[in-house]
Amino acid sequence: MKTLIFPAFLLLGAAPSARAVDFIRQIQLIHNQSIVYDIPISGTTGSIASKTIEGDGAVFQLYAYPDQIYSPFTIADVNVGTLVNANIQLDSNLVNLNLLGIHLNISLGGTDPSDPGATRVAEKTVGTYFPQASVTLTSEDTYYPPRTRADRPYGFKLSIRKLLAQPTGVTTYSGPTKITLEREYKLYDSTSYNPSTNGSGQGTYSSAYEFTKNGDFADPSIYQSLPAARPTKAVGEETFAAYVQVNAAGSMARVSASTIQVWPVAEATIDGIDDGKRYLGVPPNVKTTLKDLYPDSVTYAQIYKGAANVGTTGYIIPSTVLSYNTFSPQNAMVPIAEMEKGITTDGTYTIEILTTTPFNQRKPEVLASKSFVINRSLDVQGYIGTSN
Amino acid sequence: MKTVVRTAAALIALATPLLSQQAAPAGQRSSGAGLAVLPSNLKAPGSRVITDAELTALRSARNGGQDPKPLPPKKHGFSLVEMSTILAFGEQSTLLPKGSIISCPDALKARIVTTPSGTVVPWQEFLAANRNWIVTTEVELKQVRGEMPLPQAELQTLKSRGLVAIATLNGCPVTVLPYSPANLSK
Protein backbone atom coordinates (compact mmCIF):
# COMPACT_ATOMS: atom_id res chain seq x y z
CA MET A 1 0.00 0.00 0.00
CA LYS A 2 1.37 3.36 -0.93
CA THR A 3 1.97 5.52 2.09
CA LEU A 4 1.92 9.28 2.07
CA ILE A 5 3.67 10.72 5.05
CA PHE A 6 2.94 14.27 6.14
CA PRO A 7 4.79 16.06 8.88
CA ALA A 8 2.89 15.84 12.14
CA PHE A 9 1.48 19.19 13.25
CA LEU A 10 1.13 20.38 16.79
CA LEU A 11 -2.40 19.94 17.94
CA LEU A 12 -4.27 23.16 18.57
CA GLY A 13 -6.71 23.34 21.41
CA ALA A 14 -6.35 19.67 22.18
CA ALA A 15 -5.53 20.11 25.84
CA PRO A 16 -8.31 18.25 27.58
CA SER A 17 -10.64 20.72 29.25
CA ALA A 18 -13.41 20.10 31.69
CA ARG A 19 -15.95 21.65 29.31
CA ALA A 20 -15.22 19.50 26.25
CA VAL A 21 -18.31 17.50 25.47
CA ASP A 22 -17.67 16.51 21.87
CA PHE A 23 -14.92 14.75 19.97
CA ILE A 24 -13.72 13.99 16.47
CA ARG A 25 -12.82 10.41 15.71
CA GLN A 26 -10.24 9.86 13.02
CA ILE A 27 -10.10 6.34 11.60
CA GLN A 28 -7.59 5.14 9.07
CA LEU A 29 -6.33 1.86 7.76
CA ILE A 30 -2.66 1.09 8.33
CA HIS A 31 -1.33 -2.38 7.56
CA ASN A 32 -4.97 -3.39 6.96
CA GLN A 33 -5.93 -2.62 10.52
CA SER A 34 -7.98 0.32 11.76
CA ILE A 35 -6.27 2.96 13.83
CA VAL A 36 -8.63 5.16 15.79
CA TYR A 37 -7.70 8.55 17.22
CA ASP A 38 -10.10 10.63 19.33
CA ILE A 39 -9.60 14.41 19.46
CA PRO A 40 -11.64 16.28 22.06
CA ILE A 41 -13.28 19.56 21.10
CA SER A 42 -13.87 22.52 23.32
CA GLY A 43 -15.56 25.57 21.94
CA THR A 44 -17.83 25.95 18.96
CA THR A 45 -15.61 27.16 16.12
CA GLY A 46 -11.96 26.84 15.21
CA SER A 47 -9.56 24.38 13.72
CA ILE A 48 -8.03 21.21 14.93
CA ALA A 49 -5.00 19.57 13.42
CA SER A 50 -5.66 15.89 12.95
CA LYS A 51 -3.27 13.03 13.43
CA THR A 52 -1.04 12.50 10.41
CA ILE A 53 -3.00 11.04 7.55
CA GLU A 54 -1.27 7.96 6.26
CA GLY A 55 -2.24 5.24 3.92
CA ASP A 56 -4.88 6.06 1.37
CA GLY A 57 -7.16 8.13 3.50
CA ALA A 58 -9.05 8.68 6.70
CA VAL A 59 -12.62 8.79 7.95
CA PHE A 60 -13.46 11.69 10.22
CA GLN A 61 -16.52 11.41 12.43
CA LEU A 62 -17.84 14.16 14.64
CA TYR A 63 -19.55 12.95 17.78
CA ALA A 64 -21.44 15.06 20.24
CA TYR A 65 -22.73 14.20 23.66
CA PRO A 66 -26.18 15.64 24.42
CA ASP A 67 -25.51 18.50 26.79
CA GLN A 68 -28.39 19.41 29.07
CA ILE A 69 -27.47 23.08 28.95
CA TYR A 70 -27.90 23.19 25.19
CA SER A 71 -31.42 21.82 24.96
CA PRO A 72 -32.94 23.13 21.72
CA PHE A 73 -35.75 24.81 23.58
CA THR A 74 -33.45 27.18 25.42
CA ILE A 75 -31.75 28.63 22.38
CA ALA A 76 -33.24 32.04 21.81
CA ASP A 77 -31.78 32.78 18.41
CA VAL A 78 -33.24 30.18 16.12
CA ASN A 79 -31.29 31.57 13.22
CA VAL A 80 -28.31 29.69 14.56
CA GLY A 81 -29.11 26.94 12.11
CA THR A 82 -25.78 26.51 10.42
CA LEU A 83 -25.24 22.83 10.12
CA VAL A 84 -21.98 21.51 11.39
CA ASN A 85 -19.39 22.35 8.83
CA ALA A 86 -16.22 20.33 8.93
CA ASN A 87 -13.78 21.07 6.15
CA ILE A 88 -10.87 18.78 5.83
CA GLN A 89 -8.00 19.56 3.54
CA LEU A 90 -5.87 16.56 2.84
CA ASP A 91 -2.70 18.46 2.11
CA SER A 92 -2.79 20.76 5.09
CA ASN A 93 -3.77 18.03 7.56
CA LEU A 94 -6.13 20.50 9.16
CA VAL A 95 -9.76 20.03 10.09
CA ASN A 96 -11.66 23.31 10.11
CA LEU A 97 -14.72 23.22 12.22
CA ASN A 98 -17.69 25.47 12.39
CA LEU A 99 -19.68 24.00 15.18
CA LEU A 100 -22.13 26.85 15.62
CA GLY A 101 -25.51 25.29 16.08
CA ILE A 102 -24.11 21.85 16.79
CA HIS A 103 -26.40 21.36 19.73
CA LEU A 104 -29.44 22.66 17.91
CA ASN A 105 -28.80 20.22 15.13
CA ILE A 106 -27.80 17.32 17.31
CA SER A 107 -31.02 15.57 16.42
CA LEU A 108 -30.24 15.78 12.74
CA GLY A 109 -27.21 13.52 13.00
CA GLY A 110 -26.64 9.96 13.99
CA THR A 111 -26.79 7.45 11.21
CA ASP A 112 -26.28 4.43 13.40
CA PRO A 113 -29.17 3.87 15.79
CA SER A 114 -26.95 1.76 18.01
CA ASP A 115 -24.53 4.62 18.75
CA PRO A 116 -24.84 4.88 22.52
CA GLY A 117 -24.48 8.10 24.47
CA ALA A 118 -22.82 10.20 21.79
CA THR A 119 -24.54 11.13 18.53
CA ARG A 120 -22.68 11.10 15.22
CA VAL A 121 -23.34 14.56 13.85
CA ALA A 122 -21.14 14.60 10.77
CA GLU A 123 -18.86 12.29 8.85
CA LYS A 124 -16.39 12.94 6.10
CA THR A 125 -13.97 10.69 4.30
CA VAL A 126 -10.81 12.01 2.68
CA GLY A 127 -8.13 10.21 0.77
CA THR A 128 -5.83 10.34 -2.17
CA TYR A 129 -8.11 8.30 -4.34
CA PHE A 130 -11.39 9.15 -2.67
CA PRO A 131 -14.00 10.90 -4.78
CA GLN A 132 -15.47 14.20 -3.73
CA ALA A 133 -19.22 14.25 -3.57
CA SER A 134 -21.64 16.96 -2.61
CA VAL A 135 -25.30 16.27 -1.85
CA THR A 136 -27.71 19.21 -1.62
CA LEU A 137 -31.39 19.19 -0.79
CA THR A 138 -33.50 22.26 -1.52
CA SER A 139 -37.04 23.18 -0.58
CA GLU A 140 -39.52 25.89 -1.50
CA ASP A 141 -38.96 27.09 2.05
CA THR A 142 -35.63 28.92 2.05
CA TYR A 143 -35.00 28.28 5.75
CA TYR A 144 -31.72 26.62 6.68
CA PRO A 145 -31.35 23.76 7.66
CA PRO A 146 -33.67 22.59 4.87
CA ARG A 147 -37.24 21.77 5.75
CA THR A 148 -40.41 21.12 3.80
CA ARG A 149 -44.04 20.20 4.35
CA ALA A 150 -45.32 16.65 4.07
CA ASP A 151 -47.20 17.41 0.85
CA ARG A 152 -44.55 19.48 -0.93
CA PRO A 153 -41.76 18.07 -3.10
CA TYR A 154 -38.11 18.95 -2.52
CA GLY A 155 -35.15 19.06 -4.88
CA PHE A 156 -32.04 16.91 -4.82
CA LYS A 157 -28.63 17.49 -6.38
CA LEU A 158 -25.52 15.33 -6.33
CA SER A 159 -22.21 16.30 -7.83
CA ILE A 160 -19.35 13.84 -8.04
CA ARG A 161 -15.76 14.71 -8.80
CA LYS A 162 -12.51 12.77 -8.81
CA LEU A 163 -14.15 9.38 -9.06
CA LEU A 164 -11.51 7.24 -10.74
CA ALA A 165 -11.97 4.09 -12.73
CA GLN A 166 -8.29 3.36 -12.59
CA PRO A 167 -5.67 6.02 -11.87
CA THR A 168 -2.80 6.26 -14.36
CA GLY A 169 0.55 4.91 -13.22
CA VAL A 170 -0.92 2.70 -10.51
CA THR A 171 -0.98 -0.96 -11.32
CA THR A 172 -3.02 -2.21 -8.41
CA TYR A 173 -5.79 0.17 -7.49
CA SER A 174 -7.80 -0.77 -4.46
CA GLY A 175 -9.65 2.51 -3.98
CA PRO A 176 -13.33 3.11 -4.51
CA THR A 177 -14.70 3.04 -8.03
CA LYS A 178 -18.29 3.90 -7.28
CA ILE A 179 -20.43 5.99 -5.00
CA THR A 180 -23.51 4.46 -3.43
CA LEU A 181 -26.34 6.87 -2.76
CA GLU A 182 -28.71 5.86 -0.01
CA ARG A 183 -31.88 7.47 1.25
CA GLU A 184 -32.51 7.23 4.97
CA TYR A 185 -35.29 8.43 7.21
CA LYS A 186 -35.89 9.22 10.84
CA LEU A 187 -39.34 9.68 12.32
CA TYR A 188 -40.10 12.31 14.94
CA ASP A 189 -42.66 12.13 17.70
CA SER A 190 -45.88 13.77 16.52
CA THR A 191 -46.30 15.92 19.64
CA SER A 192 -42.76 16.84 20.64
CA TYR A 193 -41.43 17.07 17.04
CA ASN A 194 -38.19 15.42 18.16
CA PRO A 195 -36.65 12.06 17.27
CA SER A 196 -36.83 9.35 19.89
CA THR A 197 -33.88 9.12 22.26
CA ASN A 198 -33.45 5.37 21.92
CA GLY A 199 -32.83 5.34 18.19
CA SER A 200 -36.17 3.84 17.15
CA GLY A 201 -38.05 5.10 14.12
CA GLN A 202 -35.02 5.08 11.83
CA GLY A 203 -34.40 3.21 8.66
CA THR A 204 -33.49 3.31 5.00
CA TYR A 205 -35.52 3.09 1.83
CA SER A 206 -35.37 0.28 -0.66
CA SER A 207 -34.18 2.53 -3.47
CA ALA A 208 -30.40 2.97 -3.58
CA TYR A 209 -28.34 4.16 -6.51
CA GLU A 210 -24.79 3.61 -7.61
CA PHE A 211 -22.78 6.14 -9.54
CA THR A 212 -19.66 5.15 -11.40
CA LYS A 213 -18.99 8.35 -13.31
CA ASN A 214 -18.28 11.94 -12.38
CA GLY A 215 -20.96 14.50 -13.07
CA ASP A 216 -23.94 16.37 -11.70
CA PHE A 217 -27.19 14.58 -11.06
CA ALA A 218 -30.46 16.17 -10.01
CA ASP A 219 -34.09 15.39 -9.29
CA PRO A 220 -36.16 18.55 -8.80
CA SER A 221 -39.20 17.03 -7.16
CA ILE A 222 -38.98 14.27 -4.63
CA TYR A 223 -41.91 13.51 -2.34
CA GLN A 224 -41.26 12.36 1.18
CA SER A 225 -42.08 8.71 1.82
CA LEU A 226 -41.94 8.60 5.58
CA PRO A 227 -43.81 5.59 6.94
CA ALA A 228 -46.66 7.46 8.65
CA ALA A 229 -50.27 6.40 9.05
CA ARG A 230 -51.45 9.52 7.20
CA PRO A 231 -49.14 10.91 4.51
CA THR A 232 -50.10 14.53 5.20
CA LYS A 233 -49.24 14.17 8.89
CA ALA A 234 -45.78 12.64 8.43
CA VAL A 235 -43.19 14.15 10.79
CA GLY A 236 -39.51 13.37 10.53
CA GLU A 237 -36.50 13.86 8.31
CA GLU A 238 -35.01 12.28 5.22
CA THR A 239 -31.32 12.07 4.44
CA PHE A 240 -29.56 11.44 1.17
CA ALA A 241 -26.05 10.12 1.86
CA ALA A 242 -23.23 9.23 -0.51
CA TYR A 243 -21.03 6.33 0.61
CA VAL A 244 -17.82 4.74 -0.68
CA GLN A 245 -16.38 1.39 0.24
CA VAL A 246 -13.11 1.79 2.10
CA ASN A 247 -11.90 -1.71 2.77
CA ALA A 248 -12.25 -5.26 1.56
CA ALA A 249 -14.64 -6.08 4.40
CA GLY A 250 -17.21 -3.79 2.81
CA SER A 251 -17.18 -1.01 5.40
CA MET A 252 -18.78 2.07 3.93
CA ALA A 253 -17.75 5.59 4.81
CA ARG A 254 -19.85 8.64 4.14
CA VAL A 255 -18.43 11.27 1.81
CA SER A 256 -21.37 13.65 1.80
CA ALA A 257 -24.94 13.87 3.05
CA SER A 258 -27.82 16.28 3.32
CA THR A 259 -30.89 16.12 5.52
CA ILE A 260 -34.31 17.74 5.14
CA GLN A 261 -36.92 17.96 7.88
CA VAL A 262 -40.52 17.15 7.01
CA TRP A 263 -43.29 18.88 8.95
CA PRO A 264 -46.97 17.90 8.77
CA VAL A 265 -49.76 19.78 7.03
CA ALA A 266 -51.68 21.95 9.48
CA GLU A 267 -55.24 21.15 10.50
CA ALA A 268 -57.94 23.14 12.26
CA THR A 269 -61.35 22.56 13.78
CA ILE A 270 -64.02 25.18 14.50
CA ASP A 271 -65.95 24.54 17.72
CA GLY A 272 -69.10 26.30 18.86
CA ILE A 273 -70.83 26.43 15.50
CA ASP A 274 -72.86 23.65 13.94
CA ASP A 275 -72.59 23.53 10.20
CA GLY A 276 -75.81 24.75 8.55
CA LYS A 277 -77.58 25.62 11.80
CA ARG A 278 -79.79 28.67 12.21
CA TYR A 279 -78.79 31.10 14.97
CA LEU A 280 -80.86 33.90 16.41
CA GLY A 281 -77.81 35.95 17.17
CA VAL A 282 -74.07 35.89 16.71
CA PRO A 283 -72.94 32.47 17.99
CA PRO A 284 -71.08 32.88 21.29
CA ASN A 285 -68.10 30.84 22.51
CA VAL A 286 -66.73 30.04 19.09
CA LYS A 287 -63.13 28.92 19.05
CA THR A 288 -60.73 27.22 16.71
CA THR A 289 -58.18 24.55 17.62
CA LEU A 290 -55.08 24.69 15.44
CA LYS A 291 -52.66 21.79 15.13
CA ASP A 292 -49.27 21.47 13.46
CA LEU A 293 -49.11 25.01 12.14
CA TYR A 294 -46.07 25.30 9.88
CA PRO A 295 -43.07 26.90 11.67
CA ASP A 296 -43.16 29.82 9.20
CA SER A 297 -46.83 30.65 8.83
CA VAL A 298 -49.55 33.24 9.39
CA THR A 299 -52.92 31.78 10.37
CA TYR A 300 -56.20 33.69 10.70
CA ALA A 301 -59.98 33.39 10.64
CA GLN A 302 -62.21 35.25 8.22
CA ILE A 303 -65.98 35.54 7.82
CA TYR A 304 -68.00 36.43 4.73
CA LYS A 305 -71.59 36.42 3.59
CA GLY A 306 -72.75 33.51 1.54
CA ALA A 307 -72.15 29.80 1.28
CA ALA A 308 -68.63 28.39 1.41
CA ASN A 309 -66.66 29.48 -1.64
CA VAL A 310 -62.91 28.95 -1.58
CA GLY A 311 -61.14 32.01 -2.91
CA THR A 312 -63.38 34.59 -1.29
CA THR A 313 -61.73 37.35 0.69
CA GLY A 314 -63.83 38.17 3.72
CA TYR A 315 -63.56 40.14 6.93
CA ILE A 316 -60.41 39.02 8.72
CA ILE A 317 -61.06 38.81 12.46
CA PRO A 318 -58.15 40.73 14.03
CA SER A 319 -57.94 38.81 17.28
CA THR A 320 -57.38 35.52 15.43
CA VAL A 321 -54.29 36.45 13.42
CA LEU A 322 -51.37 34.29 14.56
CA SER A 323 -47.89 34.49 13.09
CA TYR A 324 -45.02 32.08 13.70
CA ASN A 325 -41.43 32.20 12.51
CA THR A 326 -39.66 29.46 14.41
CA PHE A 327 -38.09 26.03 14.02
CA SER A 328 -40.85 23.54 14.78
CA PRO A 329 -44.61 23.29 14.23
CA GLN A 330 -46.93 25.03 16.66
CA ASN A 331 -50.29 24.27 18.21
CA ALA A 332 -52.77 26.81 19.51
CA MET A 333 -56.35 27.33 20.55
CA VAL A 334 -57.82 30.70 19.58
CA PRO A 335 -61.20 32.08 20.68
CA ILE A 336 -63.01 33.76 17.82
CA ALA A 337 -64.33 36.94 19.33
CA GLU A 338 -65.74 40.08 17.67
CA MET A 339 -67.26 38.05 14.87
CA GLU A 340 -70.19 40.48 14.74
CA LYS A 341 -68.00 43.11 13.09
CA GLY A 342 -68.09 40.95 9.99
CA ILE A 343 -71.83 40.32 10.13
CA THR A 344 -74.09 42.96 8.57
CA THR A 345 -77.52 41.76 7.48
CA ASP A 346 -79.15 38.44 8.25
CA GLY A 347 -78.38 35.51 6.03
CA THR A 348 -75.89 32.72 5.46
CA TYR A 349 -72.37 33.33 6.59
CA THR A 350 -69.24 31.23 6.27
CA ILE A 351 -66.35 31.29 8.68
CA GLU A 352 -63.01 29.97 7.41
CA ILE A 353 -59.60 29.29 9.00
CA LEU A 354 -56.74 30.01 6.61
CA THR A 355 -52.96 29.72 6.76
CA THR A 356 -50.17 31.09 4.60
CA THR A 357 -46.84 29.29 4.36
CA PRO A 358 -43.76 29.65 2.15
CA PHE A 359 -45.43 27.14 -0.18
CA ASN A 360 -47.83 27.97 -3.02
CA GLN A 361 -46.27 31.44 -3.24
CA ARG A 362 -47.68 32.25 0.19
CA LYS A 363 -51.29 32.01 -1.02
CA PRO A 364 -53.56 31.26 1.93
CA GLU A 365 -54.98 27.75 2.12
CA VAL A 366 -58.29 26.91 3.77
CA LEU A 367 -57.85 24.62 6.76
CA ALA A 368 -61.47 24.48 7.87
CA SER A 369 -64.78 26.17 7.15
CA LYS A 370 -68.30 26.15 8.53
CA SER A 371 -71.44 27.87 7.31
CA PHE A 372 -74.37 29.00 9.42
CA VAL A 373 -77.50 31.14 9.10
CA ILE A 374 -78.09 34.27 11.13
CA ASN A 375 -81.69 35.30 11.62
CA ARG A 376 -81.86 38.04 14.22
CA SER A 377 -85.38 39.41 13.57
CA LEU A 378 -88.43 37.57 14.82
CA ASP A 379 -91.59 37.65 12.72
CA VAL A 380 -94.58 37.30 14.96
CA GLN A 381 -97.68 36.23 13.12
CA GLY A 382 -100.82 36.63 15.09
CA TYR A 383 -103.92 38.72 15.49
CA ILE A 384 -105.70 40.61 18.17
CA GLY A 385 -109.25 39.75 18.68
CA THR A 386 -111.83 39.55 21.34
CA SER A 387 -114.14 36.80 22.16
CA ASN A 388 -117.28 36.94 24.03
CA MET B 1 -40.22 20.17 27.43
CA LYS B 2 -43.27 21.95 26.08
CA THR B 3 -45.48 23.77 28.56
CA VAL B 4 -48.93 25.07 27.81
CA VAL B 5 -49.46 28.55 29.20
CA ARG B 6 -53.00 29.82 29.56
CA THR B 7 -53.67 33.18 31.14
CA ALA B 8 -57.02 34.78 31.77
CA ALA B 9 -56.41 37.73 29.49
CA ALA B 10 -54.43 35.97 26.77
CA LEU B 11 -56.34 35.11 23.65
CA ILE B 12 -53.87 32.49 22.56
CA ALA B 13 -52.54 29.37 24.27
CA LEU B 14 -48.95 28.86 23.19
CA ALA B 15 -47.37 25.45 22.96
CA THR B 16 -43.77 26.59 23.42
CA PRO B 17 -42.25 29.09 25.85
CA LEU B 18 -39.69 30.06 23.22
CA LEU B 19 -42.01 32.57 21.61
CA SER B 20 -41.50 35.27 24.20
CA GLN B 21 -37.76 35.21 23.62
CA GLN B 22 -38.03 35.65 19.88
CA ALA B 23 -36.03 38.62 18.72
CA ALA B 24 -36.29 38.81 14.96
CA PRO B 25 -33.49 40.42 13.02
CA ALA B 26 -34.41 43.45 10.97
CA GLY B 27 -36.39 42.58 7.88
CA GLN B 28 -37.63 39.23 9.13
CA ARG B 29 -41.15 38.52 10.25
CA SER B 30 -41.39 37.85 13.95
CA SER B 31 -43.82 35.58 15.73
CA GLY B 32 -46.81 37.29 17.31
CA ALA B 33 -50.52 37.91 17.15
CA GLY B 34 -52.92 40.54 15.92
CA LEU B 35 -53.37 42.57 12.75
CA ALA B 36 -49.82 43.89 13.00
CA VAL B 37 -48.39 40.52 11.93
CA LEU B 38 -50.77 40.04 9.00
CA PRO B 39 -48.70 40.24 5.79
CA SER B 40 -49.23 43.54 4.01
CA ASN B 41 -49.28 41.76 0.65
CA LEU B 42 -51.73 39.05 1.67
CA LYS B 43 -53.08 37.30 -1.41
CA ALA B 44 -56.54 35.93 -2.00
CA PRO B 45 -57.02 32.36 -0.76
CA GLY B 46 -55.91 29.81 -3.32
CA SER B 47 -57.27 26.42 -2.33
CA ARG B 48 -58.07 24.01 0.43
CA VAL B 49 -55.20 22.09 2.04
CA ILE B 50 -54.45 18.80 0.38
CA THR B 51 -56.09 15.61 1.63
CA ASP B 52 -54.37 12.28 2.27
CA ALA B 53 -55.95 10.69 -0.79
CA GLU B 54 -54.85 13.52 -3.05
CA LEU B 55 -51.28 13.41 -1.73
CA THR B 56 -51.04 9.62 -2.13
CA ALA B 57 -52.22 9.90 -5.73
CA LEU B 58 -49.80 12.74 -6.47
CA ARG B 59 -46.90 10.85 -4.95
CA SER B 60 -47.69 7.60 -6.77
CA ALA B 61 -47.91 9.43 -10.07
CA ARG B 62 -44.53 11.07 -9.45
CA ASN B 63 -42.87 7.79 -8.43
CA GLY B 64 -44.36 5.90 -11.35
CA GLY B 65 -46.10 3.54 -8.99
CA GLN B 66 -42.79 2.56 -7.33
CA ASP B 67 -42.96 4.22 -3.95
CA PRO B 68 -39.75 3.70 -1.95
CA LYS B 69 -40.27 1.03 0.68
CA PRO B 70 -39.14 1.72 4.25
CA LEU B 71 -36.62 -0.82 5.57
CA PRO B 72 -34.78 -1.28 8.87
CA PRO B 73 -31.59 0.79 9.25
CA LYS B 74 -28.45 -0.40 7.50
CA LYS B 75 -25.10 -0.79 9.20
CA HIS B 76 -22.27 0.81 7.29
CA GLY B 77 -19.32 0.01 9.45
CA PHE B 78 -17.14 2.35 11.48
CA SER B 79 -19.92 2.60 14.02
CA LEU B 80 -19.13 4.08 17.40
CA VAL B 81 -19.16 0.82 19.36
CA GLU B 82 -17.37 -1.19 16.66
CA MET B 83 -14.39 1.17 16.75
CA SER B 84 -14.36 1.64 20.52
CA THR B 85 -13.17 0.01 23.70
CA ILE B 86 -15.53 0.71 26.55
CA LEU B 87 -14.46 1.27 30.14
CA ALA B 88 -17.10 1.15 32.84
CA PHE B 89 -16.89 1.84 36.54
CA GLY B 90 -19.64 2.73 38.96
CA GLU B 91 -22.40 4.71 37.31
CA GLN B 92 -20.31 5.86 34.36
CA SER B 93 -18.79 4.43 31.24
CA THR B 94 -16.72 5.97 28.50
CA LEU B 95 -15.66 5.26 24.93
CA LEU B 96 -12.02 4.92 23.93
CA PRO B 97 -10.45 4.03 20.60
CA LYS B 98 -10.29 0.28 20.05
CA GLY B 99 -6.88 -1.00 21.06
CA SER B 100 -5.88 2.02 23.09
CA ILE B 101 -5.66 0.09 26.36
CA ILE B 102 -2.09 -1.15 26.30
CA SER B 103 -1.87 -2.65 29.75
CA CYS B 104 -4.50 -3.87 32.20
CA PRO B 105 -4.08 -5.79 35.46
CA ASP B 106 -6.14 -8.96 35.67
CA ALA B 107 -8.11 -7.65 38.62
CA LEU B 108 -9.42 -4.72 36.60
CA LYS B 109 -10.19 -6.60 33.40
CA ALA B 110 -13.84 -6.71 34.37
CA ARG B 111 -14.02 -2.94 33.84
CA ILE B 112 -13.50 -3.35 30.11
CA VAL B 113 -16.97 -4.09 28.80
CA THR B 114 -18.64 -4.67 25.45
CA THR B 115 -21.64 -2.39 25.90
CA PRO B 116 -21.75 0.86 27.81
CA SER B 117 -23.60 0.88 31.10
CA GLY B 118 -24.95 3.73 33.15
CA THR B 119 -24.25 7.23 31.85
CA VAL B 120 -21.87 7.56 28.93
CA VAL B 121 -19.53 10.45 29.72
CA PRO B 122 -16.76 12.08 27.70
CA TRP B 123 -13.28 10.60 28.16
CA GLN B 124 -11.87 13.60 30.05
CA GLU B 125 -14.61 13.44 32.61
CA PHE B 126 -14.13 9.70 33.16
CA LEU B 127 -10.36 10.10 33.49
CA ALA B 128 -10.72 12.91 36.02
CA ALA B 129 -13.03 10.81 38.16
CA ASN B 130 -10.89 7.68 38.00
CA ARG B 131 -7.31 8.89 38.21
CA ASN B 132 -6.59 6.40 40.96
CA TRP B 133 -6.62 3.47 38.54
CA ILE B 134 -6.13 4.92 35.04
CA VAL B 135 -2.96 6.51 33.64
CA THR B 136 -2.15 7.77 30.17
CA THR B 137 1.09 6.88 28.43
CA GLU B 138 2.40 8.99 25.57
CA VAL B 139 3.43 6.82 22.59
CA GLU B 140 5.21 7.53 19.31
CA LEU B 141 3.81 7.31 15.82
CA LYS B 142 6.01 4.28 15.08
CA GLN B 143 4.54 2.45 18.06
CA VAL B 144 1.03 3.37 16.93
CA ARG B 145 1.76 1.80 13.54
CA GLY B 146 3.09 -1.36 15.13
CA GLU B 147 6.61 -0.78 13.83
CA MET B 148 8.25 -0.32 17.21
CA PRO B 149 7.53 -2.29 20.37
CA LEU B 150 6.11 -0.67 23.47
CA PRO B 151 8.35 -0.35 26.53
CA GLN B 152 7.39 -3.64 28.18
CA ALA B 153 9.23 -2.97 31.43
CA GLU B 154 7.30 0.23 32.01
CA LEU B 155 4.00 -1.48 31.23
CA GLN B 156 4.80 -4.30 33.64
CA THR B 157 5.42 -1.75 36.39
CA LEU B 158 2.09 -0.10 35.75
CA LYS B 159 0.37 -3.49 35.77
CA SER B 160 1.89 -4.46 39.07
CA ARG B 161 0.77 -1.14 40.52
CA GLY B 162 -2.78 -2.02 39.55
CA LEU B 163 -3.15 0.67 36.91
CA VAL B 164 -4.77 0.57 33.49
CA ALA B 165 -2.58 2.29 30.87
CA ILE B 166 -4.17 4.17 27.95
CA ALA B 167 -2.00 5.11 24.97
CA THR B 168 -2.12 8.76 23.93
CA LEU B 169 -0.60 10.74 21.08
CA ASN B 170 -0.22 14.44 21.83
CA GLY B 171 -2.64 14.02 24.68
CA CYS B 172 -5.43 12.28 22.75
CA PRO B 173 -6.19 8.56 23.07
CA VAL B 174 -5.06 6.47 20.09
CA THR B 175 -5.13 2.87 18.90
CA VAL B 176 -1.82 1.04 19.14
CA LEU B 177 -1.31 -1.76 16.65
CA PRO B 178 0.40 -4.86 17.95
CA TYR B 179 4.10 -4.85 17.17
CA SER B 180 5.08 -7.10 14.31
CA PRO B 181 8.39 -7.09 12.45
CA ALA B 182 6.45 -7.64 9.24
CA ASN B 183 5.02 -4.14 9.55
CA LEU B 184 8.45 -2.62 9.12
CA SER B 185 8.84 -3.79 5.58
CA LYS B 186 5.58 -2.19 4.37
Which residue of chain A has the CA closest to B174? A37
Q: In a mutagenesis test of the B interface, which of A34, A186, A206 is the best target, namely the one with the most B β-carbons within 10 Å?
A: A34
- Contact: B46, A364; criterion CB under 8 Å: yes
Determine whether the interchain pair B14/A267 forms a contact, defined as Cβ–Cβ distance below 8 Å: no
Q: CB distance B52–A230 less than 8 Å? A: yes
Under 8 Å CB-to-CB from A340, ≥6 apart: which residues?
A: A282
pLDDT over threshold 90, residue B118? no
Partner residue opposite A321 with nearest CB, options B38, B171, B174? B38
Residue B18's pLDDT is: 35
More confident position, B15 or B58 = B58
Mutation site for A-interface testing, chosen from B5, B7, B11, B28 by largest number of A Cβ within 10 Å: B11
A contacts of B75 (beta carbons < 8 Å): 112
* Residues of chain B contacting residue A253, judged by C-beta atoms under 8 Å apart: 76-78
**pLDDT surpasses 90 at A154:** yes
Residues of chain A contacting residue B19, judged by C-beta atoms under 8 Å apart: 324, 326
Q: Is the pLDDT of residue A213 over 60?
A: yes
Q: Is A176 exposed, middle or buried (0-12, 13-18, 19+ CB in 10 A)?
A: buried
Is residue B175 within 8 Å of residue B98, measured between CB atoms? yes
Cβ–Cβ gap B76/A337 under 8 Å: no
Q: Residues of A with CB below 8 A from B72's CB?
A: 203-204
pLDDT value at position A26?
A: 85
Domains and CATH numbers, chain A: 22-263 (no CATH), 267-374 (2.60.40)
Strands (E) in A212-295, as ranges, are 215-222, 236-245, 252-263, 267-271, 278-279, 287-293
User: Does pLDDT of B2 surpass 80?
Assistant: no
Query: Which residues from chain B sit within 8 angstroms of residue A207, using beta carbons?
Result: 66, 68
- pLDDT tens for residues A279-289? 998 888 899 99
C-alpha of A206 from chain center? 21
Please state the rounded mean pLDDT for residues A306-323.
Answer: 93
Structure confidence at residue A47 (pLDDT): 67
Interchain contact, B76 vs A318, CB within 8 Å: no
> Residues A323-356: pLDDT tens digits?
999 888 999 999 998 888 889 899 999 999 999 9
pLDDT surpassing 60 at residue A67: no
Band the pLDDT of A166: cuts 50, 70, 90. low
Length of chain B equals: 186
Stretch A74-81: mean pLDDT: 31
Q: Where are the domains of chain B?
A: 84-185
In this prediction, residue A170 carries a pLDDT of 65
Instruction: Please indicate whether residue A21 or residue A266 has the higher confidence score (pLDDT).
Output: A266
Identify the band that residue A252 occupies on the pLDDT scale cut at 50, 70 and 90. confident
Chain B: residue nearest A153 by CA? Answer: B59
Phi-psi category of A102—alpha, beta or left, where left has phi over 0 and alpha has psi -120 to 50?
alpha
